[in-house]
Amino acid sequence: MSDVVEKTLTALPSLLSLDSQPGSAKLSSNSKLGNLIRGITELTSKHEEEKLIQRELLLIKEQVSSPNTTMRQMKELMVRAIYCEMLGYGVSFSYIHAIKLAQQGNVLEKRVYLAVSLFLNEGHELLLLLVNTVLKDLQSTNLIEVCMALTVVSQMFPKDMIPAILPLVEEKLNHPREIIRRKAVLALYKFYLIAPNQVQHIHNKFRKALCDKDPGVMSASLHIYLQLIQENPEGYKDLAPSFVTILKQVVGGKLPMDFNYHSVPAPWLQIHLLRILSLLGKNDQTSEIMYEILDESLRRAEMNHNITYILYECVKCIYTIHPKSGLLEKAAKCIGNFVLSPKINLKYLLKALTYVVQQDPKLALQHQMTIIECLDHSDLIIKRETLELLFRITNDQNVTVIVEKMLDFLRISEDDHTTIDLVGKVAELAEYAPDNEWFIDTMNTVFSLGGDLLQPDIPNSFLKLLSEFDSVEEDKKLRLFAVNSYISLLQGDSSKLPQRFLQVICWVLGEYSHLREDLEPGVVVRLLAKLLDMKSSSSETKCWVLMAMTKLCPGGAALALVHDVSETYSSSLDTMLRQRAQELQILSQDSELQAKVLPRSASMEPVEVDSSLSFLDGFVSEALAAGAAPYKPPHQRQEELSRSKLNLEPYGLSLPISISSCSITDRQSPTLLSISSGLSGDSTDFSHKGSTALKLDGVKRLWGRDGYLAQKEQTEEAPRIEAASAVRSADQLGDNNALNSQTPNPTPSPECDQEKQQLASSLFVGLASQSTPAELSALSHSKVTLLFSKQNLDVSACHVQKEDSVVLVVFISNCSDSFLHQIRLQVDSEELETEEYGAMWLAFSHDTKQNLTLIHDGRDPLAATLDVLKRKLQLHVVEIIVEAIVACCLQQDQPCLMHCRMHAGMLAVWLRSPVPDLPDCLLYCCQ
Amino acid sequence: MQFMLLFSRQGKLRLQKWYVPLSDKEKKKITRELVQTVLARKPKMCSFLEWRDLKIVYKRYASLYFCCAIEDQDNELITLEIIHRYVELLDKYFGSVCELDIIFNFEKAYFILDEFLLGGEAQETSKKNVLKAIEQADLLHKYGNVHHPNKNSKCWTLTFFQNLTIFVHGQT
């Protein structure tokens, strides 16, 4: 069977001789391509092929530029050029000719558009030359010409030129022929994809296309709707009943027979509709109208075994939309059939089980045997999908087995993409570790298998985990185990270990090898020194080695080794390496200083970083006093520099001054100071930065646009900062919390507090999402979102589906082991000025609007309603100017602004906050 | 759909259609990698691949591989049907299509593809309508009769093996 092509090629000469019968130029031209193809197949080496094609291309080049070449010949030349390009040779010289041909040719040559569409892509500059041709053809009365123009337009068209042809394409939506209407709709779809804002105004025409009497046009319009709904499902809820009706008609076989595909009515159309429905019904009551048709679709698809593609799409849809128990059961059964099927392509759909598993992990039990079988399948893809499924059902009991399977797979996988992905997953799962040994062993395998491909955050989080373990005893054991395992690794052949892994080893040995009492630091240093001599070690790894040596600080014979090493590298060309070597040299000679710089016991405590660089204040004010120019950030310097360059005025008095001022700032600003420019930022940007503005809270603003802020300026700055940060210390939430007194100092410094908060949120996000209260776990609920956390308390929210309603639940959870006696929830109002309110309003991105009913109790209804809100939400009224603006603050750094307006007897409330779910929660309280 | 490739069992590219703008260098790299990966797969393996962040759906018809790249949320099974419908269209147009038809009339194969898929989306799924559109355009080319290589016994049709595999499956 392998020689099928060869056999047929031997028959070619006779075929080609048939062609050369008298008659047409077309046939002889065809044989030119034939000759070329035959010529290529006869060749034996790649080199010969290249020679032949180059010759051919020269010939083509000559002919296309010749003025005597007829249109027909040109067209034939283009076909040959396309062929050469397909073989991988550059034919860019012919692009312009293809476009020229499209311009000049009459309807017979219009098919050369094809060449254009194959040669060029959207971004190509030559496409601009095509615009006029397309315009002309769109206006043509010839159906074929219009069709071709629309085809080329929907494949590629320069974005900027869309307005030029848009009216013509729009016009085609009313064309009497359905083929033109269909192509016009698809062209508009393409326009929408590349430049959505340009087709905004024709959305109602899309609706018309959706109602078109021709099913082809209607199904073309679904492409646009799928895209639109993907971007904004809320905006198209009203269309859901129409889509359901269309699907009903399609499933019911109401379409012409032409649209059947192997007796399935319009499968592509059905799949499109199902996808649209699943987007519309996601977490939404709209789903209710879909249940009936989904059931029907499923039933019909099941009757005919061949239409698994519809079944699959139905199942996906059923699991995406608002759940309905009866349907879920049917869908689960359906997936069960896929899994059990002997057909390999259906086995691949095993991954659909992940949907089922997310609803109810127990359902996976039914299929456990199949899953095990698939795990040992000879097709790696199936194996990979099975692992994906297992990854979703991992818990602390099965983690060892699943991770082992994944590592097995990693050992045979050759694809980088898969390796990176799987290694990340294993590292994620490894944190469910049943014991220390297993954890370290697993991570060792991850590092050695992942090599230098793995995501940099994996080693980082591993080291972080190692340094932050919470119980002292366990902690020590874990570290000791890691040290032991790394020592034995280094004693073996370490040249094969990836660089990242070596870096991890260096760090751990540097930090924790002292835990093993029988181990001389000298031994470790010698092992580390071996790494330095290895050719494969990168200079980054060498830095890590030197840092580890610095921490170890051995005495005795090893000291000489350390000395040698630091000597060697202190003249290295790599600056980092050099710096580390210098550090090592100095610290190894001065053990007192070493103990001070790298205190062994304190390595767990977070290092306080003075990000405002306040220790430099003295230096700066001294320099300023001595007449130095204030610091200017680089962009400002650049600006001034360019301004001075553009000074076109004749030589005058102003010139020397401007030159002197900017050249002085440039040279005199000490490089050290420029470090702070990133942190201090622009004072004018402050209010617009949104969430970043909050992060700046803790940092004392000493550096502004003009450098170090002198005392006078600082007093101006101070109130603003206080208003924004509104420091509410820990005792407000936890003053009754007896066990909370562990907090070292009652008023923690802002920097430290913030760091902790960040740490807490990064550590407890995972926990919060699992620790739903017991009452909730029985009900189905959406993903729990952590609103904010403070010390040991998390406030989270989620939607819960009850039998008859969806409820927003906000709950407080204690994420520490300590016992809380009493929690007093207090919502604080924040004192704000109108200006600040305005600035903050612009900065916050998450907003919600709603109308509330006013309360009438004799007084001014606005005041009355606000009073109630004030009491309920602890609001602080900022100002009432015709409208009212009020603000409240739930917690430190979590403000929420409210804007109320009387409108048609209702109170229009508009909430904004930097925290995504806060406005929703508050609004819920308002009702 | 991001792109479609047709290549022979020897790894020779027969047709390429890209629906996303890519540089020539990238196209070549992708083609080379994919052809290699797909050709290395055994017949009993499934028709899907995960490759970079795309899903690859491929199917072999006689000596030709049809290979499509789709995005994550797309339905793999229906993509197989797209390939199959395209083969059916070629089959109907050329009359039991074989690899040679596609080699020597590759521009026709492109026309049919353009009529069936536009910008990467199924445009017209009715077989009759696609062929009607192609024939109308063909009529314009007075001399443009389809050039058929002589179909004697030595030319295997694409669907021949398709039918054969179905037959073999039926047996087991």
Read off the pLDDT of residues A231-248 as tens digits, 9 standing for 90 and up.
888 888 888 999 999 999
User: Does the pLDDT of residue B70 top 90, yes or no?
Assistant: yes
Q: How far is A34 from chain B (nearest CA, A)?
A: 7
Three-class SS of residue A264?
strand
- ∠ Cα A90 A94 A97 (to 5°): 165
The end-to-end CA distance of chain B, in Å, is: 34
- The identity of residue A406, as a single letter, is M
Contact yes or no for A332/A363 (Cβ under 8 A): yes
pLDDT, one tens digit per residue, over A842-877 is 666 666 677 766 666 666 667 777 777 666 666 666
- Which pLDDT value is given to residue A918? 64
A6-20, A367-381, A573-587: which has the minimum mean pLDDT? Answer: A6-20
Query: Residue B66 falls within a domain, yes or no?
Result: yes
A730 or A842, greater pLDDT: A842
- Which pLDDT value is given to residue A808? 63
A171 or A835, greater pLDDT: A171
- CA closest to A79 among chain B residues: B107
- Interface list for A 58-97 with B (CB within 8 A): 79, 82-83, 86-88, 90
- For residue B100, the chain A residues in CB contact (below 8 A) are 5, 8
- For residue A225, the chain B residues in CB contact (below 8 A) are none
- Comparing CA positions, the residue from B54, B61, B55, B66 lying closest to residue B15 is B66
Query: Residue for token digits 């802002």?
Result: A750
Ranges of beta strands (E only) in A512-629 are: none
Q: How far is B85 from chain A (nearest CA, A)?
A: 8
CATH architecture assigned to A834-926:
2-Layer Sandwich (3.30)
- For residue B89, the chain A residues in CB contact (below 8 A) are none
Q: What is the mean pLDDT of the segment spanning A261-282?
A: 90
Q: Using the beta-carbon criterion (under 8 Å), do A19 and B147 form an inter-chain contact?
A: yes
Query: Residue B165 falls within a domain, yes or no?
Result: no
Residue A541 burial by Cβ neighbours in a 10 Å radius (0-12, 13-18, 19+): buried
User: Does the pLDDT of residue A377 top 80, yes or no?
Assistant: yes
Q: How far is A380 from chain B (nearest CA, A)?
A: 9
- Interface list for B 38-67 with A (CB within 8 A): 42, 44-53, 62-63
Residue A20, Cα to own-chain centre: how many angstroms? 59
Task: Give the model's confidence band at A785: pLDDT under 50 very low, under 70 low, under 90 confident, else very high.
Answer: low
- CA closest to A417 among chain B residues: B52
Range with the largest mean pLDDT of A495-504, A708-717, A896-905:
A495-504
- Comparing CA positions, the residue from A383, A467, A457, A392 lying closest to residue A424 is A457
- Which pLDDT value is given to residue B143? 42
- Interface list for A 6-25 with B (CB within 8 A): 7-8, 11-12, 14-15, 18-19, 23-25
pLDDT, one tens digit per residue, over A217-229 is 998 999 999 999 9
Element (H, E) at A764: helix A750-770
Query: Residue B163 falls within a domain, yes or no?
Result: no
- Which pLDDT value is given to residue A794? 66
**Which ranges of A195-324 would DSSP assign to H, the alpha helix?**
203-210, 215-231, 240-251, 267-281, 291-303, 308-320
Give percent of chain A with pLDDT exceeding 90: 5
Give the separation between CA A79 and CA A480, rounded to whole angstroms. Answer: 71
Domain boundaries, given as residue ranges, for chain A: 417-596, 785-814, 834-926
- Which pLDDT value is given to residue A504? 87
Give the separation between CA B127 and CA A261, rounded to whole angstroms. Answer: 9
Query: Residue B110 falls within a domain, yes or no?
Result: yes
Number of structural domains (chain B) is 1
- Which pLDDT value is given to residue A273? 93
Number of Cβ within 10 Å of residue A321's Cβ equals 24
Contact yes or no for A261/A267 (Cβ under 8 A): yes
A763 or A49, greater pLDDT: A49
Residue B23 burial by Cβ neighbours in a 10 Å radius (0-12, 13-18, 19+): exposed
Contact yes or no for A287/A281 (Cβ under 8 A): yes
Contact yes or no for A331/A314 (Cβ under 8 A): yes
Tokens of A903: 């409108």
How many residues belong to chain A? 927
Residue A456, Cα to own-chain centre: how many angstroms? 16
- For residue A183, the chain B residues in CB contact (below 8 A) are 118, 123
Contact yes or no for A669/A632 (Cβ under 8 A): yes
- Which pLDDT value is given to residue A679? 36
Q: Using the beta-carbon criterion (under 8 Å), do B98 and A8 form an inter-chain contact?
A: yes
Q: What is the mean pLDDT of the segment spanning B102-108?
A: 86
- Interface list for A 377-396 with B (CB within 8 A): 378-379, 381-382, 384
Three-class SS of residue A910?
strand
Give the separation between CA A845 and CA A689, rounded to whole angstroms. Answer: 10
Q: Using the beta-carbon criterion (under 8 Å), do A309 and B78 form an inter-chain contact?
A: yes
Q: How far is B76 from chain A (nearest CA, A)?
A: 8
Look at the alpha carbons of A668, A674, A675, A681 in this order and tell me if their dihedral is positive or negative.
positive
**Which residue segment(s) compose the domain that B135 sits in?**
3-145
Interface mutation vs chain A, best among B20, B46, B91, B160, most A CBs within 10 Å:
B46
- CA closest to B37 among chain A residues: A415
Asked if the C-beta of B135 comes within 8 angstroms of chain A's C-beta atoms, the answer is no
Instruction: Say what the alpha-carbon torsion angle A788, A793, A797, A803 is, to the nearest 10 degrees.
Output: 180
What is the DSSP code (8-state) at residue A321? B
Give the separation between CA A278 and CA A286, rounded to whole angstroms. Answer: 10
Please give the interface size between A and B, counted as residue pairs whose CB atoms are below 8 Å apart: 179
When the pLDDT of each residue in chain A is averaged and rounded to a whole number, the result is 72
Tell whether ipTM is more than 0.85. no
Q: Give the nearest partner residue to B63 out of A4, A23, A123, using CB atoms.
A: A4
Number of Cβ within 10 Å of residue A837's Cβ equals 20
A58-72, A714-728, B68-82: which has the minimum mean pLDDT? Answer: A714-728
Number of Cβ within 10 Å of residue A438's Cβ equals 16
Q: How far is B80 from chain A (nearest CA, A)?
A: 9
User: Does the pLDDT of residue A755 top 70, yes or no?
Assistant: no
Query: Residue for token digits 């060869």?
Result: A6
Question: pTM of the entire structure?
Answer: 0.63
A849 or B81, greater pLDDT: B81
Q: Using the beta-carbon criterion (under 8 Å), do B103 and A37 form an inter-chain contact?
A: yes
Tokens of A424: 């990340």
Q: Give the nearest partner residue to B110 out of A37, A114, A261, using CB atoms.
A: A114
Q: How far is A303 from chain B (nearest CA, A)?
A: 18
Q: Which residues contact B80 (CB under 8 A, 6 or more apart)?
A: A309, A345, B47, B57, B59
- Which pLDDT value is given to residue A666? 39
Q: What is the number of alpha carbons within 13 Å of residue A825 lying toward its C-beta?
A: 12
Query: Residue B172 falls within a domain, yes or no?
Result: no
DSSP A427-487: HHHHTT-SSHHHHHHHHHHHHHHHGGGS-THHHHHHHHHHHH-SSHHHHHHHHHHHHHHHH
- ∠ Cα B57 B61 B62 (to 5°): 145
Q: Name residue A846's beta-bridge partners.
A: A913
User: Does the pLDDT of residue A507 top 70, yes or no?
Assistant: yes
pLDDT, one tens digit per residue, over A621-641 is 888 888 888 887 777 777 776
Q: Which residues contact B92 (CB under 8 A, 6 or more apart)?
A: B127, B131
Query: Residue for token digits 């971004």?
Result: A123
Contact yes or no for A482/A504 (Cβ under 8 A): no
Give the separation between CA A522 and CA A554, rounded to whole angstroms. Answer: 6
Asked if the C-beta of B165 comes within 8 angstroms of chain A's C-beta atoms, the answer is no
- For residue A148, the chain B residues in CB contact (below 8 A) are 137
User: Does the pLDDT of residue A13 top 60, yes or no?
Assistant: no
Query: Residue B68 falls within a domain, yes or no?
Result: yes
Tokens of A927: 């009702």
Q: Using the beta-carbon criterion (under 8 Å), do A143 and B80 form an inter-chain contact?
A: no
Interface mutation vs chain B, best among A261, A297, A304, A415, most B CBs within 10 Å:
A261
Asked if the C-beta of A304 comes within 8 angstroms of chain B's C-beta atoms, the answer is no
Give the separation between CA A274 and CA A323, rounded to whole angstroms. Answer: 15
Give the separation between CA A17 and CA A783, rounded to whole angstroms. Answer: 71
pLDDT, one tens digit per residue, over A98-122 is 888 888 766 666 667 777 777 777 7
Asked if the C-beta of B18 comes within 8 angstroms of chain A's C-beta atoms, the answer is yes
Contact yes or no for A894/A788 (Cβ under 8 A): yes
Q: What is the number of alpha carbons within 13 Å of residue A589 lying toward its C-beta?
A: 9
- For residue B136, the chain A residues in CB contact (below 8 A) are 143-144
A158-162, A510-514, A734-738: which has the minimum mean pLDDT? Answer: A734-738
- Which pLDDT value is given to residue A557? 67
Asked if the C-beta of B153 comes within 8 angstroms of chain A's C-beta atoms, the answer is no
- CA closest to A119 among chain B residues: B24
Q: Using the beta-carbon criterion (under 8 Å), do A345 and B9 form an inter-chain contact?
A: no
Helix A178-194 / helix A215-231 crossing angle, nearest 10 deg: 10
- CA closest to A150 among chain B residues: B118
Q: Using the beta-carbon criterion (under 8 Å), do B46 and A344 form an inter-chain contact?
A: yes
Q: Using the beta-carbon criterion (under 8 Å), do B78 and A418 form an inter-chain contact?
A: no
Q: How far is B149 from chain A (nearest CA, A)?
A: 6
- Interface list for B 65-124 with A (CB within 8 A): 73, 75-78, 80-82, 85, 98-100, 103-104, 106-107, 110-111, 114, 118-119, 121-124
Q: How far is B13 from chain A (nearest CA, A)?
A: 7
pLDDT, one tens digit per residue, over A428-485 is 888 777 788 888 888 888 888 887 777 788 888 888 887 776 666 777 788 888 888 8
Q: Name residue A809's beta-bridge partners.
A: A798
| CATH number assigned to the domain comprising residue B123 | 3.30.450.60
DSSP A63-91: HHH-TT--HHHHHHHHHHHHHHHHTT---
Q: Give the nearest partner residue to A258 out of B14, B16, B129, using CB atoms.
A: B129
Q: Using the beta-carbon criterion (under 8 Å), do A219 and B125 form an inter-chain contact?
A: yes
Three-class SS of residue A232?
coil
Element (H, E) at A789: strand A785-790
Q: Using the beta-carbon criterion (under 8 Å), do A382 and B46 form an inter-chain contact?
A: yes
